[in-house]
Amino acid sequence: MSENEAGAPGRALSGIRVLDLSRVLAGPWATQTLGDLGAEVIKIEKPGTGDDTRGWGPPWLSDGAGEQTRESAYFLAANRNKHSVTIDMAQPEGQALIRQLAQASDVVIENFKVGGLKRYGLDAESLTALNPRLIYCSITGFGQDGPEAGRAGYDFMIQGMSGLMSVTGGPQDEPQKIGVALVDVLTGLNAAIAILAALEQRHRTGRGQTIDVALFDVAMASLANQALNFLVGGTAPRRLGNAHPNIVPYQVFETADGHLILAVGNDGQFARFCRLADLSELASDERFTTNAARVAHRDALIPMLGAALKRQTTGEWLAMLDAAGIPAGPINTIAQAFAEPQALARGLAQALPHALGGVAPGVRSPLRLSESPTGEGLAPPVLGQDTDRVLTDILGLGDDERARLRGAGVI
């Protein structure tokens, strides 16, 4: 573990310092996760503009007087539990400051194009030479090698290239992207997992290492059963809309007043559902007694189930299905999801005091550790909020030197 005393005391990663050179979503999601776990995250941003996502609004955060700020909801989503430090890495003095911070850090994470930081002397080879204990994580679209390594990668593009969009959407519709930049989010989570593994390895060996995480790799790995359906079966999966390729019935059904999701996971649940829906004869029909048989005879089964489900309302069905132990649920809007009793009981919506006054809304971290809880933490910082403190506390820069650097546009 680092000898740093920075970070959140009592949390799992207290004492770990992360130098965050990333922006937009995948990298910031990784560092937000590490920050939630107690690491001290120092986010380096360009003076004047900062992370691109600061301007990706509306909507904008309101300050304590109810006036709109220029802090976007997008930026707030991925940057809690961080300290913002403005440094212009295009300037030699800025590069020198970042190198000093890297020497005092445990982890560096960046998401520049392959080779993009080498001209600044901020690449893995340069920084690990200065700090052999450093864990240096690079997030790119396609990884550090291969014919596409030099290309920029974006979530939407990667969803298409990886095959994810080929299995998303209705059978007769055009391929669809997921409604959230989920490849970026999953890449951030995979990067955080790799960093945690590297920290444990360093605990045993005393040596850091480099980590190569690619959006394309993550998207392909996250195809899960669909990837194996192809690798085992030899046929590319097709779009099934809200149906499941390997489980039946496991999809959206229309009710008397809306829709619900029915997620029958085994043969016992199917038999109970048939009794509940006055379709007991289907449970003994050899075409439907097993999941494999139901998948094979999907086209015959689904219309019969659909007709039965239309006889009652969504609320009536959900009450009966829950009582019978059959997995089912509503299709909520995001507003309805936050109003769910479970979301309220778990405190999933949180509000953190913000530097501009008022509070910054957020979603609580899903990581719940009994001995080192994540807690509420810090609201996403305003641009440069922590520049003076970090450069003073970590690098020992005095007032005059900071004023000189600020006048030169370095910080």
pLDDT score of 376 = 77
pLDDT score of 7 = 63
Fold assignment, 250-331 = formyl-coa transferase, domain 3 (3.30.1540)
Please enumerate in sequence order all residues whose Cβ is within 8 A of that of 272, keeping only pairs 6 or more positions apart, or say none. 324, 325, 326
* Residue length of the chain: 411
Separation of alpha carbons 79 and 23, rounded Å: 10
Contact 374, 37 (CB under 8 A): yes
3-state secondary structure of 261: strand
Separation of alpha carbons 142 and 121, rounded Å: 22
3-state secondary structure of 57: coil
- DSSP code, position 179: S
Cis bond upstream, residue 249 (ω within 30): yes
**Quick one: tokens of 288?**
């439907």
**Quick one: tokens of 52?**
């691109």
- DSSP code, position 243: S
Please enumerate in sequence order all residues whose Cβ is within 8 A of that of 11, keeping only pairs 6 or more positions apart, or say none. 37, 38, 372, 373, 374, 375
**Quick one: tokens of 8?**
């959140």
Q: Which helix (H) or strand (E) holds 137?
A: strand 135-140
pTM over 0.85: yes
Separation of alpha carbons 259 and 314, rounded Å: 6
* CATH tag for 17-224+346-408 (out of 3.50.50.60, 3.40.50.410, 3.40.630.30, 3.40.50.10540): 3.40.50.10540
CA distances from 318 to 72, 263, 285 (A): 37, 12, 25
Place of tokens 């080192």: 372
Separation of alpha carbons 20 and 237, rounded Å: 38
pLDDT score of 213 = 98
The torsion angles phi and psi of 123, rounded to 5 degrees, stand at -80, 170
Separation of alpha carbons 305 and 268, rounded Å: 16
Q: What is the largest CA-CA distance in the chain?
A: 85
Instruction: Indicate the angle between helix axes 182-205 and 26-36, nearest 10 degrees.
Output: 50
The torsion angles phi and psi of 278, rounded to 5 degrees, stand at 55, 40
Contact 238, 168 (CB under 8 A): no
| E-only strand ranges, 38-188 | 40-45, 60-62, 68-72, 83-86, 107-110, 135-140
Per-residue pLDDT of the chain (411 residues; tens, 9 = 90+): 333 344 677 899 999 999 999 999 999 999 999 999 999 999 999 999 999 999 999 999 999 899 999 999 999 999 999 999 999 999 999 999 999 999 999 999 999 999 999 999 999 999 999 999 999 999 999 999 999 999 999 999 999 999 999 999 999 999 999 999 999 999 999 999 999 999 999 999 999 999 999 999 999 999 999 999 999 999 999 999 999 999 999 999 999 999 999 999 999 999 999 999 999 999 999 999 999 999 999 999 999 999 999 999 999 999 999 999 999 999 999 999 999 999 999 999 999 999 999 999 999 999 999 999 997 789 999 999 999 999 999 999 999 999 999 999 999
3-state secondary structure of 211: strand
Separation of alpha carbons 376 and 233, rounded Å: 47
**Quick one: tokens of 79?**
């940057």
In terms of Cα–Cα distance, which of 231, 214, 222, 114 is closest to 154?
A: 214
| Within this chain, domains 17-224+346-408 and 250-331 share the same CATH topology | no
* Residues with catalytic roles: 184
pLDDT score of 302 = 97
Please enumerate in sequence order all residues whose Cβ is within 8 A of that of 165, keeping only pairs 6 or more positions apart, or say none. 159, 175, 176, 177
Contact 243, 188 (CB under 8 A): no
- DSSP code, position 60: E
- The residues spanned by each domain of the chain are 17-224+346-408, 250-331
